[in-house]
């Protein structure tokens, strides 16, 4: 699915350039649109594989079906909104539009994205808290119980803090602190991806070993003997 989205973006951009590639503004518009679409497709594929709403056996987190479906749709929609905002801001900057309008779009769009993700974290705070403490929350260590009760507040504070820092740097014409804003998100995505790959490899190896054990323990069938007639 992710590979298909990338191929679609490349082919679409190539066709758009072949039809109307002489105008720089058109090229920038095509590039912004197809890049955003490809990114949304890749993010959707990541969340589909992570939450696996239709395949509970392949789900990376122990979540009820309703929660997994709602989380997959919610986070995919929030990520798509953030990608559209980022693409629109890039488009405005590439075309050299008004600096004030671009700054306003950056500040407003990043605030809207932060609020959307914050709402999602608050809405799904109970399932994630159950994952942190395990099935028996009362028997979990106190630090885990504290983290389970406050993780969504920490996430909201992080989003608002990074928005404040980024907005201040935008208004002061300073370089954006991309490491502070997207660094933790990149770490989370890479960690989830590595976890998924490791889980797939472990399941594949375990399935092969189990098949080998079954093959070795199966009783050997007796060789058929031919009757001799004299």
The answer to whether residue 76 scores a pLDDT higher than 70 is yes
pLDDT of residue 147: 82
Q: Per-residue pLDDT tens for 87-99? A: 888 888 888 888 8
Identify the band that residue 3 occupies on the pLDDT scale cut at 50, 70 and 90: low
- φ and ψ at 167, to 5 degrees? -65, -40
Distance CA(91)–CA(197), nearest Å, equals: 35
Task: Report the range of poorest mean pLDDT among 67-76, 136-145, 179-188.
Answer: 179-188
| Cα–Cα distance measured from residue 88 to residue 104, given in angstroms and rounded to the nearest whole number | 12
Short-list 77, 90, 162, CA closest to 120: 77
Which is nearest to 188 in space by CA: 220, 158, 150?
158
Q: Which of 119-133, 146-160, 187-201 has the lowest mean pLDDT?
A: 187-201
Mean pLDDT over 156-184 rounds to 76
Task: Report which of 156, 158, 133 is spatially closest to residue 143, judged by C-alpha positions.
Answer: 133
For the chain, give the mean pLDDT. Answer: 76
Task: Give Cβ neighbours of residue 85 (< 8 Å, ≥ 6 apart).
Answer: 105, 109, 110, 112, 113
Quick one: pLDDT at residue 50? 77
- Residue 76 · residue 44 · CB < 8 Å: yes
- How wide is the angle at C-alpha 43 spanned by C-alphas 39 and 45, nearest 5°? 120
Domain ranges of the chain: 1-97
Question: What whole-number distance in Å separates Cα of residue 117 and Cα of residue 81?
Answer: 10
Q: Which of 158, 156, 162 is nearest to 181 (CA)?
A: 162
């Amino acid at each position: 699915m992710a590979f298909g989205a990338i191929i679609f973006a490349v082919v679409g951009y190539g066709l758009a350039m072949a039809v109307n590639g002489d105008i720089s503004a058109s090229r920038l518009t095509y590039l912004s649109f197809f890049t955003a679409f490809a990114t949304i497709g890749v993010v959707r594929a990541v969340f589909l594989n992570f939450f696996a709403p239709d395949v509970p056996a392949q789900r990376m987190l122990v979540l009820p079906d309703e929660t997994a479906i709602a989380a997959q749709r919610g986070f995919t929609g929030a990520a798509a909104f953030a990608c559209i905002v980022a693409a629109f801001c890039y488009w405005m900057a590439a075309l050299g539009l008004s600096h004030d309008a671009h700054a306003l779009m950056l500040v407003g769009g990043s605030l809207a994205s932060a609020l959307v993700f914050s709402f999602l974290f608050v809405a799904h705070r109970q399932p994630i808290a159950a994952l942190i403490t395990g099935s028996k929350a009362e028997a979990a260590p106190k630090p885990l119980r504290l983290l389970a009760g406050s993780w969504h507040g920490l996430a909201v504070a992080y989003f608002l803090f990074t928005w404040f820092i980024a907005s201040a740097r935008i208004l002061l014409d300073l370089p954006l602190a991309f490491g502070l804003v997207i660094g933790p998100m990149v770490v989370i995505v890479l960690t989830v991806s590595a976890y998924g790959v490791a889980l797939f490899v472990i399941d594949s190896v375990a399935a092969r070993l189990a098949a080998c054990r079954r093959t070795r323990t199966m009783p050997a069938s007796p060789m058929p003997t031919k009757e001799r007639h004299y």
